[in-house]
Amino acid sequence: MRRVGRFLWLPWVTCAPRWQADGLVASHLGFPGFRSQRRVIKTANGFVIVDRLSGLLKQEGQCTLRWHGRSRAGLEQLTVACSAPSTEAYVTALPDGGEGWHSTHYGSKEPSWCRRITATGRDVTFVTALGCSLRLEAKSFFVDGEEYPLE
């Protein structure tokens, strides 16, 4: 999207949400050949979010998953697994005004935390679990011992 005003970005990309028995899946084509898909699953003990990025210009590229929170301790409660080689960093209140800020209402800006996971690959899958155990394998992931396919 391209910025056309102070708070407006256009053209809006379309999203294709669909409900499944265990949660919701939404995907969109933001750029030709690139696909982003997010799947949210409710489990007995928590939630799992699966982010799949594919078609990164038909070559290896770098992509970053960011989770924002008010405290580092809160972000450390998330278990994150990645299908590609990745690095992880916690940042807070960067002076240039980028990551690490929180706003509860217009005109306010407070320091917060950002957990940044950066991966390099052609097709990258991030799996994040909150409140449950997680193990990621090539074709599936396991949450509290139960297997889920990577669709």
**pLDDT, greater one: 37 or 95:** 37
The residue whose two tokens read 């320091």 is: 111
61-92 burial, b for 16+ CB within 10 Å, e for fewer? Answer: eebebebebeeeeebeebbbbbbbebeeeeee
Question: Could you tell me if 34 and 95 are in contact, meaning their C-beta atoms sit under 8 angstroms apart?
Answer: no
- pLDDT at position 144 is 92
Confidence of residue 30 (pLDDT cuts 50, 70, 90): low
Question: Could you tell me if 111 and 33 are in contact, meaning their C-beta atoms sit under 8 angstroms apart?
Answer: no
**pLDDT, greater one: 145 or 103:** 145
| 40-66: average pLDDT | 86
| 36-61: average pLDDT | 86
pLDDT tens digits for range 75-92: 999 999 999 999 999 998
- Amino acid 7 reads F
Hey, where are the domains in the chain?
Answer: 18-149
Average pLDDT, the chain: 87
pLDDT tens digits for range 75-134: 999 999 999 999 999 998 877 767 788 888 888 888 889 999 999 988 899 999 999 999
Residue 143 scores a pLDDT above 70: yes
CA angle 52, 101, 2 (to 5 degrees): 55
| DSSP H or E stretch at residue 75 | helix 72-75
Residue 47 scores a pLDDT above 90: yes
Residue 69 scores a pLDDT above 80: yes
Phi then psi dihedrals of residue 74, to 5 deg:
-65, -40
